[in-house]
């Protein structure tokens, strides 16, 4: 008997597990146990007809009403087609025919996937007048250098999006070069504008991995210290005309020993330059040949200085610094010290700070983002006090999809997050640009994924290089449109 019982045990465990999962699928979506939100479970999600899927929670959380005709099968049954094919990638021809039949309901065209997403011309909103610091500054771009700091999460790593903002603005206002680059970086394998290599004996601290030594972090949120003679080399690419060459390199550092570093432009002979001591941010300006394409910096001893990064420049105009913080929510500005930020403002003349965070905060089970609003308001007000003559532009999160049955739809947390971001901009008195709407609004990410060429990755969250280029140009166009209106 015991042997028979043992043989039946796996079957009983399996049956019990299935029963438990089915029971869990009937739990209400807003249930809390001991203060924790319980995530709903639906074992039959992928085989349920779309008409049985519960979209009420999306509507309640986002305030967006989904058309009854789209959610029911009536419109599609009359066409003799399974409605779930709207979001299926199995048959592109079937998908195009279906989208055409629902053109009035979903505001798309039969060529949405083939010719790309239905992007929208979205203007800058919020307190647009706060952009005046930047707009007034660029009037003098022929006689001075003006900087933009573009902060964001992994969406801007590799100079994605930033490169096209930079390219568009430099065409309009002048300036050559990619601007600020850290000593070490996580994105060296896919950065489109610069090839960067460095020795393995740098200790780097930043807002991404932590700063256990409590060293001052630079404007970019990074600082690197050599553990001995160390080196870093930068070489430009031909991807963007205004970032191919440079003639000036500025090295930003602090707490230097009385010593010299070595450097070289292109393949020229190595030269030396002396570092200045002091606890404030220092800048060493080096001039090389016109149309330089590479630069190498070498330290000569351990702990020689705390290096924030270098800037590749050429002449007056606009420089857009790419500051990616992978996996960050945007609240880590509290880790940057007041004196360091003020020093960078004095040395770099930042006139616009762009903030592109939020994707790492979005959650399909979130009911509000009050905590995030409060933290970001504190951070932005802190930054405004450090940069009192600087404009701020908050970018809303882009679309991100989750799977509902057989299709991908906008994560219900995204519209909620964007509302919170609009509140953040309103309460801090800064400008706002709605990336989500510019991408096409609700359920647009799938169109970006299936565009030809693809504009987003199959994680339905991150854009491709082509998608990043499109977003970067849209941001620049929105800035230039506001500038022309202001002028």
Of 71-80, 124-133, 164-173, 360-369, where does mean pLDDT reach its minimum? 71-80
For the chain, domain boundaries: 1-43, 52-115, 120-175+316-487, 178-314
What confidence score (pLDDT) does residue 406 get?
80
Q: What is the arithmetic mean of pLDDT over 40-63? A: 44
Round to whole Å and give the CA distance between 96 and 85. Answer: 10
Topology agreement, domain 120-175+316-487 and domain 178-314: no
CATH for 120-175+316-487, options being 3.40.50.1110, 3.40.50.970, 3.90.1520.10, 3.40.50.300: 3.40.50.1110
**HSE-up (13 A, CA, CB side) for residue 197:** 4
Task: Give me the CATH code for the 178-314 domain, please.
Answer: 2.60.120.1360
pLDDT reading at 53 higher than 60? no
Rounded CA-CA distance 44/46 in Å is 6
- The CA distance from 36 to 469, in Å, is 40
**Is 122 a residue whose pLDDT tops 80?**
yes
Q: In the prediction, which pLDDT does 37 show?
A: 54
pTM above 0.85, yes or no: no
| Nearest CA-CA partner of 330 in 360, 371, 369 | 360
CA proximity to 284, closest of 293, 292, 275: 275
Quickly state the pLDDT bin for 41 (edges 50, 70, 90).
Answer: low
> Which one, of 190, 131, 124, 132, lies nearest residue 163 by Cα?
190
Give the pLDDT score at 28.
57
């Amino acid at each position: 008997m015991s042997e028979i019982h043992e043989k039946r045990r796996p079957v009983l465990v399996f049956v019990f597990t299935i029963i438990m999962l089915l029971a869990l699928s009937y739990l209400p979506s807003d249930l809390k146990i001991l203060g924790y939100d319980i995530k709903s479970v639906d074992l039959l999600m992928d085989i349920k007809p779309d008409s049985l899927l519960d979209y009420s929670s999306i509507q309640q959380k986002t305030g967006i009403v989904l058309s009854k005709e789209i959610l029911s099968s009536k419109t599609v049954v009359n066409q003799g087609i399974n409605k779930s094919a709207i979001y299926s990638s199995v048959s592109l021809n079937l998908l195009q025919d279906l989208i055409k039949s629902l053109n009035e309901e979903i505001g798309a065209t039969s060529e949405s996937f083939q010719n790309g997403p239905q992007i929208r011309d979205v203007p800058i909103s919020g307190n647009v007048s706060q952009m005046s610091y930047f707009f007034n500054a660029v009037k003098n771009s022929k006689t001075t250098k003006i900087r933009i700091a573009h902060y964001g999460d992994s969406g801007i790593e590799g100079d994605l999006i930033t490169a096209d903002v930079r390219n568009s603005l430099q065409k309009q206002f002048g300036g050559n070069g990619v601007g600020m680059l850290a000593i070490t970086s996580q994105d060296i394998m896919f950065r489109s504008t610069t090839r960067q290599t460095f020795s393995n004996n740098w200790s780097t601290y930043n807002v991404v991995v932590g700063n256990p030594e409590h060293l001052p972090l630079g404007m970019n949120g990074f600082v690197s210290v050599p553990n001995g003679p160390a080196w870093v080399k930068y070489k430009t690419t031909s991807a963007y005309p205004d970032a191919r060459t440079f003639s000036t390199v500025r090295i930003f550092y602090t707490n230097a020993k009385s010593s010299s570093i070595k450097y070289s432009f292109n393949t020229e002979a190595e030269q030396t330059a002396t570092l200045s001591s002091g606890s404030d941010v220092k800048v060493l300006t080096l001039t090389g040949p016109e149309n330089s394409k590479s630069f190498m910096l070498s330290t000569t001893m351990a702990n020689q200085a705390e290096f924030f990064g270098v800037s590749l420049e050429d002449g007056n105009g606009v420089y857009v610094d790419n500051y990616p913080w992978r996996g960050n929510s945007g609240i880590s500005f509290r880790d940057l010290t007041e004196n360091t930020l003020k020093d960078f403002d004095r040395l770099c003349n930042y006139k616009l700070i762009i903030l592109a965070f939020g994707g790492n905060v979005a959650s399909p089970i979130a009911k509000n983002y009050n905590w995030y609003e409060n933290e970001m308001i504190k951070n932005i007000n802190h930054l405004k006090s450090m940069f009192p003559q600087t404009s701020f532009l908050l970018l809303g999160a882009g679309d991100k999809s989750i799977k509902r049955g057989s299709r991908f739809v906008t994560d219900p947390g995204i519209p909620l997050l964007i509302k919170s971001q609009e509140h953040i901009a309103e309460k801090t008195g800064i400008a706002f640009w709605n990336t989500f709407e510019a991408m096409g609004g609700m359920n647009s990410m799938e169109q970006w994924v299936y565009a030809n060429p693809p504009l987003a990755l199959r994680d339905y969250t991150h854009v491709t290089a082509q998608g990043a280029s499109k977003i970067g140009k849209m941001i620049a166009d929105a800035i230039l449109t506001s500038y022309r209106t202001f002028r």
